[in-house]
A = this chain, B = another copy of it.
Amino acid sequence: MTGQACSNTDKHGENVGQVRSTMLSEKDFLFLAELFKALGDYTRVRILYALSVSELCVCALAEVLDMSQSAISHQLRLLRAARLVRYRKEGKNVFYALDDDHVDNLLKQGLDHIQEEGQV
């Protein structure tokens, strides 16, 4: 909470200054956190993974994940807010898909990371 936490400011002083000047804006960090937060839920990550395989309507998603339509819809709302998915309406249905390749890449990168875990 205070300015300096430990006494050896001399030692890490240079680093602290350098890192501080490299930090992004509060807004950027908030967006970044929001993005990962949206990915960071068991239900939502399954939704996104499913959508990486195929575009799906809400009821199909509910069926794939074996969850209520309401629960899925609430989560899709968050995913929309985080711009991780886009949708198109077709009659009574609404079809969802991943917003862009970044989302797919994030999932893949995440999978790489957790699959590497086994080695450690």
Chain A residues near B (Cβ < 8 Å): 1-6, 8-9, 12, 15-16, 18-20, 22-24, 28-42, 44-46, 49-50, 53-54, 56-60, 62-64, 66-69, 71, 83, 93, 100, 102-103, 105-107, 109-114, 116-117, 120
Contacts and interface: CB of A to CB of B under 8 A. Distances in A.
A40 B29 contact: no
Contacts of A23: 46, 49-50, 64
Contacts of A2: 66, 68
A40 B4 CA distance: 26
B60 A16 contact: yes
Most buried by B among A40, A50, A67, A69: A40
Interface of A is mostly: helix
A46 B41 CA distance: 20
18 contacts: A2-B68, A4-B59, A5-B58, A5-B68, A5-B69, A15-B54, A15-B56, A18-B53, A18-B54, A28-B114, A29-B45, A32-B45, A32-B49, A35-B110, A36-B36, A37-B37, A40-B40, A100-B116
